[in-house]
Amino acid sequence: MKKNQLVAVFLIFYYSGCCFGESTGESLFKQNKSEEAVIFLEQEIENGTASLDAHNFLGLAYCQNGDFEKAVNAFERGLRTPGTNKKVLSYNQGNAFFMQKDYANAVKCYSLSLAADKTFYKAMLNRANAYLIQEGYENALKDYSNYILAVPDDPQKEEILDIIKVLTEEVDKLIEERRIAQEAEAEQKAEEERLNAAREQMYAEEQQSLLQMREEIERKSARQKEDAERRLAEEIEFEEKLRKIEEERKAMEAERRRRILEEVERSLQNTDSTSLTSGTEDLIEYDQESELE
């Protein structure tokens, strides 16, 4: 929205006026001697001789001097003082913020002023202006519309109606853009949820597959362990059988030898001693000495 489409419906510094007589500072302010008024008003406030309007006059004087920060401070001190006109002080503090281009704080002050008096339509109009500058078009449209209904004979009615027309188009466009954005966001969210569900499903399937693989590995490992234990048992059993066969063989061999020895011994015992010869049976005995030739 272009700035030249805005209307300048702005500041009229508002003050309540004094009640039973003016102080020197207030009198100087009304004579447009704002610099001198500031000095006397500060003294009167410090001395406790100021009226309940003194802080408002002081803030307005600072605004006329272009010192908006001190104006804000003066209005704030007035707001903290019991019995002061909070509606007017908040309104003028909002104007001081506005002049510093601090539109967010200006909106807050105008809202406080309207909270004190909802029929204080100047605060509503200035808040609409502050909203508009911040591109808060929906809030600005609402305030402008309510203002023109409450003050239908405002001298700037036509300008305000033009603003309302432009804002209505702008707000309708924003609402449509927001709707499209929300639909796109909803679609994106649905797509993200779908992708997340797919990822979760894939993850679950992978986990299930890994679990099945782990179980299969554990089963194979268990079978391999059983097979190894079985083979070991078979080897031990086979070696035990070999050992027994060897022991039996050795026992049989020892028994065979024992029997052979026994047989030999029996054979020796059964042999007739008369059948034995010294090997001299065939020798010729000579009774006479040999004659030598």
Mean pLDDT of 206-211: 90
Say yes or no to pLDDT of 43 above 90.
Answer: yes
Kindly give the interhelix angle for 54-64 and 68-79, rounded to the nearest 10 degrees.
170
Across the range 124-132, mean pLDDT stands at 97
Would you state the pLDDT for residue 76? Answer: 97
Of the pLDDT bands very low, low, confident and very high (cuts 50, 70, 90), residue 22 is confident
Write the DSSP assignment of 114-175 as a string of letters.
Answer: HHH-TT-HHHHHHHHHHHHHTT-HHHHHHHHHHHHHH-TT-TTHHHHHHHHHHHHHHHHHHH
- Is this model's pTM higher than 0.95 or not? no
Would you state the structure tokens that stand for residue 113, as one six-digit string?
Answer: 């002023």
What would the mean pLDDT of 134-143 be, rounded to a whole number? 96
- The pLDDT of residue 279 is above 80: no
Of 3, 10, 5, nearest in space to 125 by CA: 10
pLDDT of 3 strictly over 80:
no
Q: What is the reported pLDDT for 227?
A: 87
The greatest distance separating any two alpha carbons of the chain, rounded to the nearest whole angstrom, comes to: 209
What the block records as the tokens of 198 is: 């797919």
Which amino acid belongs to residue 144?
Y
Q: pLDDT at position 264, please?
A: 87
CA–CA separation, 13 and 60 (whole Å): 7
| pLDDT, tens digit (0-9, with 9 covering 90-100), for 243-267 | 999 998 899 999 988 888 888 888 8
Phi and psi at residue 101, to the nearest 5°: 65, 25
Fill in the amino acid letter for 237: E
